[in-house]
A and B are shown apart, each in its own frame.
Chain A
Amino acid sequence: MTDLLPSPDMSPDAGPYWDAAKENRFLLQNCDACGEWRFVPSHLCTHCGSDKTSWKEPSGRGVIYSLTTVHRGPTAEFRAYTPYIIVFVDLVEGPRIMTNLIGEGAEHAAIGDAVEVCFEARQGNTKVPQFCLAPKGDAA
């Protein structure tokens, strides 16, 4: 478990997302016209169609919408890490995001548990946003 996983492929739409992750910051697009947050990054707002968008820092908190424990990885790199957990997180601000659930207690996590963003180093001096269980009593 000492080898870092591969760097994510990065699309030009999402430059600020990946640049921020390198600095342990979580940025999402927030529509200047309708005020809605959105994920995944896109040129037009998927709520209202506006092309006026700002990258802003949401709370980084949410709850687990669903999860699964992967026992057979898709590639050799991921197979070295099995079993690992994938979660869908409903962010407080609205969008849904898929990451791994990492950190203490992840193997006991359930739908509805509060989580918060954290970051994982990947190859090539990159990082990816991940989610960890929020400290107990820290309601999302």
Chain B
Amino acid sequence: MIKNNVVIAGVGESDIGKVPELSGLGLNAQAAKRALDDAGLELKDVDGLLTAYSMTEPYFMMGSVLAEYLGIKPTYCASLTVGGGTPGTALHHAAMAIATGQAKTILVTAGENRATGQSRDAAVQALTQVGHPYFENPYGPLIPSFYAMIANRYMHEFGTKREEMAAVAVRAREHAIRHPASPMSKGITTEDVLSSKPISTPLNILDCCLISDAAGALVVTSADRAKDLKSDPAYLLGIGESHTHEHMTMAPSLTEFGTTISGNAAYDMSGLTPAHIDFAELYDCFSIVPIIEAEELGFAKRGEAGAMFAEGATSIEGSFPINTHGGLLSYAQAGASGGMHGIVEAVRQLRGNEGDRQVKKHDIGLVHNEGGILSSHCTMIFGREAI
């Protein structure tokens, strides 16, 4: 049983933004050390390691690579490649290993040196790997092109407004500038987003996530073990996945996604409903995405989540705060780290010590990770207490 029995006992992040003095492995190690310090544990306590992948460094077996870099010899170790959905999926695997006694203390890490480990052109070109190599890439799509086509269809079917998408980016920036580790210090307006450089219509550069050096790490263990550790644990109350396609050509729909399926699985495991959730950290690689996710996760009806962002409900002081750290749009995006920062933020918000970024109600938080082109989904529900 996962519910109430598996916890995140420590969280950590590397330095965020441009960190040229660290490799991708170095960023993961820095985040891992900080997560272990947070839990009051040491590397020698770790018997499990799950990590992601790298598009900037030429390593193959990343789990084993990171273990040797950290100087540990785990008995449970692998790397996963689920795009931005990797941290959630890795947490799910870790939770199953903890719940079945296969490991006692699992480190989950993700991140890359995407900003300084490669040229901007190389970054853009590497990311075309997400398109189908034989039947999509011959036509020159960017990752934003796929999400742009989702946005156009979504606006066409459900009436989501362009200005509402821009508001998602504006809110993200408002939250990021309150975060002490964020590289952002200056706010943006809806007009700034709408007049920023066009990338793939309707998406402009300010509708697109950052390219960062960043990593995050979680210490996953059992609720029993966490009782005498240093920091307040976050209880995993529910978790679920859905994998409907990888390439957009093969997506069952461009207006209904696996978010609903993974969300329902997480709600079912926890016994909770959307009404029980105090705040959410959603995946926001592009401004349309948290609007779709908020609707699929039951926080608004179809076509109505855009207004939550535009009218301020999703602000830290609003009725339902979303992406309190600034998200991928304004905090950090380094490959698989994108979803990881949402998990780290949820754990911190549950503990209640985030100053002017702290949400008022912080008993139960939901995190959603997605990878690919809304291809692979993982929804997680965390609680300050077991329920």
Contact = CB atoms under 8 A, between A and B. Distances in A.
B85 to A, nearest CB: 22
Given A11-B134, A86-B149, A128-B138, A70 B125 contact: no
Interface band, chain B: 20 to 34
A99 B127 CA distance: 19
B149 A8 contact: no
B138 A70 contact: no
A92 B202 CA distance: 27
Nearest to B204: A71
Contacts of A5: 138, 140
Interface string A67-101: 11111111100100100101010000000111110
Contact of A65 (B128, B139, B142, B254): B254
A98 B153 contact: no
B145 A70 contact: yes
A49 to B, nearest CB: 16
A86 B199 contact: no
A10 B134 CA distance: 6
Interface string B195-207: 0011111110000
B134 A68 contact: no
Contacts of A6: 138
Contacts of A46: 250
A95 to B, nearest CB: 9
A102 to B, nearest CB: 10
A54 interface: no
Nearest to A75: B125
Given A8-B134, A40-B135, A75-B125, A70 B142 contact: yes
> Among A40, A68, A78, A128, which residue has the most Cβ atoms of chain B within 10 A?
A68
A6 B139 CA distance: 10
> Among B135, B200, B203, which residue has the most Cβ atoms of chain A within 10 A?
B135
A118 interface: no
B153 A81 contact: no
A71 B198 contact: yes
A111 B44 CA distance: 58
A80 B275 CA distance: 51
B141 interface: yes
A98 B141 contact: yes
24 contacts: A8-B137, A9-B134, A14-B135, A40-B249, A40-B250, A66-B152, A66-B254, A67-B152, A68-B145, A68-B149, A68-B201, A70-B142, A72-B142, A74-B137, A74-B140, A74-B141, A75-B140, A78-B140, A81-B140, A86-B149, A88-B149, A88-B248, A111-B152, A122-B138
Interface of B: 124-125, 127-128, 132-142, 145, 148-150, 152-153, 156, 197-203, 247-250, 254
Interface of A: 5-6, 8-11, 14, 39-40, 46, 65-75, 78, 81, 84, 86, 88, 96-100, 111, 122, 128
